[in-house]
Amino acid sequence: MRPVILDVDTGLDDACALLLAARHPELDLKAVTCVGGNVGLDDVVINTLTVLEAAGRTDVPVARGAAVPLLQPVRAAPHVHGTDGLGDLDWPRSTRTTDGRHAVELLRDVLREAAATGELVTLIPLAPMTNIALLLRTYPEAAAGLHEIVFMGGAAGIGNATASAEFNIWTDPEAAAVVLTAAGELGVPVTMYGLDVFYDVVITMEQARGLGGSPSADLARRLIEKRSELYKSDGASIGDGGAVCAVIDPDGLTTQPFPLRVELSGSWSRGRTIVDTRDWAADLSSDPHGPSPTVVQVATAVDGARYAELWLSTVK
């Protein structure tokens, strides 16, 4: 089993990812940490506990983290996730309480234990990376417990929150920049599962209608139905769930190593992930900025049908 931690701002697609991580037999879900993003932190926490309860995983510790980004207000996305983040499904809400530690403290403790035992953890941020930035700068020694970071965010060529920027990076670009810099300094491998592949793992309504018979399968069906309704389509992407698929089955994802930076200024480009695809030495040598010292495996293609079947077979 592969130890993993999810860092989430639980909306509809984070819920798809949580169900997969909680139910897949090859993943050991050590903890889930919460951050403000798709909705406010209070809703994120309740949504996360609710999804884990539906998945039968009340054993997984859940911790509250940063409520707002490092330098700007939180920017919710009710047009994508509903006012409560779970599509206003009226699903029974969990009454379980969170771990007493702050998310950064829970991350620190789990990773310190992982470093001591040698069972290194894959960290899967599916949200603005505020918690992860605070962790790596406050407790850099915790990185010894990391096998890799696989984050959902960014893109090589498209945006959604703006024409340039993907939502998770745009919401806290400073945090993303800190995480990339720290990962490079600390030698932590990073994979970016961005918008270039985000929309390509689709569950059709026909497939969704075959889900049922347990709380996790019922919730999975409702999530796809709601996302299909919001997008006015005959199916829906599992979104963040694809990043968890990539951890379980990396052969279904095509990646290429590229230097990566985050744009922190610019009227139209703040929050954009700058993927440096240049390979001509003369261009690189004449660039006053130089290439980014942090090289990231950037997802460029995904076997959507393969990952869709992986998700379906797990949640049902």
Q: What is the pLDDT of residues 133-166, one digit of tens each?
A: 999 999 999 999 999 999 999 999 889 999 999 9
pLDDT of residue 205: 95
Exposure pattern of 176-201 as b/e (b: 16+ CB <10 Å)? bbbbbbbbbeeebebbbbbbbbbbbb
Lowest mean pLDDT among 50-59, 187-196, 241-250, 277-286: 277-286
pLDDT of residue 296: 97
Q: Is the pLDDT of residue 85 over 90?
A: no
pLDDT of residue 147: 98
- Domain 2-199+238-300 -> CATH class: alpha beta
Q: Which among 263, 315, 316 has a CA at the least distance from the CA of 289? A: 263
User: Can you give the C-alpha Rg of the chain in angstroms?
Assistant: 18
- Joined tokens for residue 258: 């590229």
Q: How far apart are alpha carbons 309 and 144 in whole angstroms? A: 34
Q: Is the pLDDT of residue 217 over 90?
A: yes
- Joined tokens for residue 10: 């639980």
Q: What is the pLDDT of residues 275-288, one digit of tens each?
A: 998 886 667 677 78
- Joined tokens for residue 130: 């505020």
User: Is 9 one of the annotated active-site residues of the chain?
Assistant: yes
- Whether 32 contacts 156, CB under 8 Å: no
Q: Is the pLDDT of residue 245 over 90?
A: yes
For residue 297, give the DSSP letter.
Answer: E
Q: How far apart are alpha carbons 304 and 47 in whole angstroms? A: 26
Q: What is the pLDDT of residues 58-67, one digit of tens each?
A: 999 999 999 9
Spell out the domain ranges in the chain: 2-199+238-300
Number of H helices, E strands in the chain: 13, 11
The one catalytic residue in 9, 43, 196, 276 is 9
Q: How far apart are alpha carbons 257 and 177 in whole angstroms? A: 17
Q: Which among 153, 185, 184, 166 has a CA at the least distance from the CA of 17? A: 153
Q: How far apart are alpha carbons 224 and 174 in whole angstroms? A: 32
Q: Express as a percent the part of the chain with pLDDT over 90.
A: 85
**Confidence class for position 83, pLDDT limits 50, 70, 90:** confident
